[in-house]
């Protein structure tokens, strides 16, 4: 899968991509990420990429010309792939959106800076707008890296393990069960006995129940959309019953 990232801060993108898993994916030819400095497409002496907003008010706005020249210079006019803008005004990113984006073999990511970009870029160049959540950042670079990381790890072969991303939170629709590794006792804290038992059916059931318990405690909204077995439902009914009994105890 190929990504072309357009930014005024190319130096913040590349280091993360040189960390272990994405680095290996690039070396293996499974992932191609090209980072382009929008400033390289300016034609004025001082390489200016921003200007004051029409209508007044504070802050600066990214000029349209260097952005169009950069994206069209690399990807043609019109661009040969979808152009995603990272912005809090976009559709909220989640695991389902990440999965959807794996259908593309080539995406462009446009990172804003300053107070934002000239609206004509959104209207005539950008094809999709993505937010990674309801908070403000100084630019779209971290959201672009978040998107690349989440999508690239779904590309077959990027995670070494052939089971890959199958066990992840949000793939099952549930939060993950607790993980443990050696030693079996650390500072007096024991690994749950069931995990040392070698009884794979019991381990699978324990993990499933831990996932259900965590999801019920922390993200009950997720339980609405998930496929539950009859054993899952029985376990959750017992949680609800124990909770009601506990509440009554506190009252009485
Ligand atoms: C800020 C100039 O979803 C979180 C996001 C925050 C943020 C994004 S996406 N883009 C920008 C930006 O600031 O372009």
Q: pLDDT tens for residues 150-159?
A: 999 999 999 9
Architecture of the structural domain at 2-152: 3-Layer(aba) Sandwich (3.40)
**Ligand 1 centre and the CA of 2: distance in Å?**
22
Residues in the chain: 252
Select from 45, 36, 44, 38 the least CA-distant residue to 117: 38
Q: Which atom of ligand 1 is nearest to the CA of 138?
A: 13
**Mean pLDDT for the chain?**
96
pLDDT tens per residue across span 13-59 = 999 999 889 999 999 999 999 999 999 999 999 999 999 999 999 99
Minimal-distance CA residue to ligand 1 atom 5 = 88
- Whether ligand 1 lies within 6 angstroms of the CB of 90 is answered as no
118 CA to centre of own chain: 26
Probe residue for ligand 1, chosen from 139, 141, 142, 147 as the CB with the greatest number of ligand atoms within 8 Å: 139
Ligand 1 mutation pick, 131, 143, 150, max ligand atoms within 8 A of CB: 143
The pTM of this model reads 0.96
Catalytic residue ranges: 88, 115, 153, 168
Say if residues 58 and 115 touch (Cβ distance below 8 Å). Answer: yes
Percent of the chain at pLDDT > 90 equals 92
Alpha carbons within 13 angstroms on the beta-carbon side of residue 8 total: 18
**Of 19, 11, 25, which is closest to residue 3 (Cα–Cα)?**
25
Angle between helices 141-152 and 20-27 (to 10 degrees): 70
Give residue-wise pLDDT tens across range 54-81.
999 999 999 999 999 999 999 999 999 9
Q: Give the start-to-end residue ranges of the domains of the chain.
A: 2-152, 185-251
- Annotation: CATH topology of 185-251: 1.10.1270
Q: Which of 93, 73, 178, 196 is nearest to 144 (CA)?
A: 93
Q: Is 107 helix (H, G, I), strand (E, B) or coil?
A: strand
* Joined tokens for residue 153: 């790890």
**Element (DSSP H or E) covering residue 171:** none
Angle at the Cα of 229 (from 228 to 234), degrees rounded to 5?
A: 95
Rg of the chain over CA atoms, in angstroms? 24
């Amino acid at each position: 899968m190929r990504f072309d990232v357009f930014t005024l801060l190319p130096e913040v993108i590349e280091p993360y991509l040189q960390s272990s898993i994405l680095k290996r994916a690039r070396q293996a030819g499974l992932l191609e990420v090209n980072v382009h400095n929008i400033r390289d497409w300016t034609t004025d002496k001082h390489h200016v990429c921003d200007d004051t907003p029409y209508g007044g008010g504070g802050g600066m706005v990214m000029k349209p010309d260097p952005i169009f020249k950069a994206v069209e210079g690399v990807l043609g006019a019109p661009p040969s792939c979808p152009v995603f803008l990272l912005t809090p005004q976009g559709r909220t990113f989640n695991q389902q959106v990440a999965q959807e984006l794996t259908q593309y073999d080539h995406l462009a990511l446009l990172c804003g800076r300053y107070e934002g970009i000239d609206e004509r870029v959104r209207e005539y160049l950008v094809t999709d707008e993505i937010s990674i959540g309801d908070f403000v950042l100084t630019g779209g670079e971290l959201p672009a890296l978040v998107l690349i990381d989440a999508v690239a790890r779904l590309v077959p072969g990027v995670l070494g393990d052939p089971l890959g991303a199958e066990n992840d939170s949000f793939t099952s629709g549930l939060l993950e069960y607790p993980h443990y590794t050696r030693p079996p006792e650390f500072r007096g804290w024991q690994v749950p006995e069931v995990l040392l038992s070698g009884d794979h059916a019991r381990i699978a059931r324990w993990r499933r129940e831990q996932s259900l318990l965590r999801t019920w405690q922390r993200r009950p909204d997720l339980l609405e959309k998930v496929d539950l077995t009859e054993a899952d439902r029985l376990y959750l009914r017992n949680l609800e019953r124990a909770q009601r009994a506990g509440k009554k105890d506190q009252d009485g």
